[in-house]
Amino acid sequence: MWETYTCRSPLEGKLSSDLTHKLCLGLREKREIGMPMQYIDIYEKCWSPDPSLRPEISEILYRLKNLIEEPIYMGIDIPSTETSYPNREILSNTVVQQDDLTSEMQLFNFSELIPSDSFSLLIEKACQIENFYNSYNNMQLNQRTCKQLGRYIIKAVSAVKVLQCQDNYDEFLTLENHISLCKFLKNLKDIKNFIEDISQIRKLIVFIQE
């Protein structure tokens, strides 16, 4: 979408040996003066490193059809485009001061706040996996290994639930932490599936054959 609006190829004339590293840190093409702010909001959401937070094609098309051209970007820095990483100064030194090729680019906000409901849903799913283990009584094989893995599940989920009780919980609700929590939940699911696979004779045979 940035390329369509500007009629320019992204990163044109900005290729350098460490460009990939800079892009991973959050470097993106700058907003163009005159761009409708709603248009900017659409394509910057598409930049999210978490695919689940990117808008669906249907949503993008709907918003483009109903786009309001005002207000427009006037070239004034807006906090939502500035990354709030604790090591922002390091990022700035790494991205901007090494060369002038990327000086016309911006640091995309990977630490934008995510609604607490999104975190609550992930934590609820983690609790469901904990409840599965607590009520799981079909361990035909490898009981010692399964029980040890189960203790890890309980300990990990308990630590996550404690986060919701912290006074500074709102500060935890960043995109970066949301991605980490998604990975955490995936690991829990993998452990749950592994316990099921190695604790039942029928599933263990299939697991070994795979």
Q: What's the pLDDT tens digit per position in 37-47?
A: 888 888 888 88
| 3 state DSSP class of 64 | helix
Give me the pLDDT at residue 175, please.
64
pLDDT band at 152 (very low <50, low <70, confident <90, very high): very high
Rounded to the nearest angstrom, the gap between the alpha carbon of residue 148 and the centroid of all alpha carbons in its chain is: 30
The count of other CB atoms within 10 Å of the CB of residue 123 is: 18
Query: Rounded mean pLDDT of 169-175?
Result: 80
Mean pLDDT of 117-143: 88
- The average pLDDT across 78-100 equals 43
**Residues of the chain above pLDDT 70, percent:** 75
Backbone torsion region of residue 53, taken as left when φ is above 0, otherwise alpha when ψ lies between -120 and 50, otherwise beta: alpha
Which pLDDT does position 90 carry in this prediction? Answer: 43
Tokens read off for 144:
């010692």
Q: How confident is the model at residue 108 (pLDDT cuts 50, 70, 90)?
A: low
The predicted pLDDT at position 163 comes to 86
Q: What is the pLDDT of residue 95?
A: 44
Q: What is the pLDDT of residue 127?
A: 94
69 pLDDT exceeds 70? Answer: yes
pLDDT at 70: 75
Higher pLDDT, 105 or 171: 171
Q: Which amino acid is at 124?
A: E
Q: How far apart are CA 10 and CA 168, in angstroms?
A: 39
pLDDT given for residue 71 in this prediction: 74
Report which of 210, 207, 205, 191 is spatially closest to residue 136, judged by C-alpha positions: 191
Residue 136: pLDDT over 80: yes
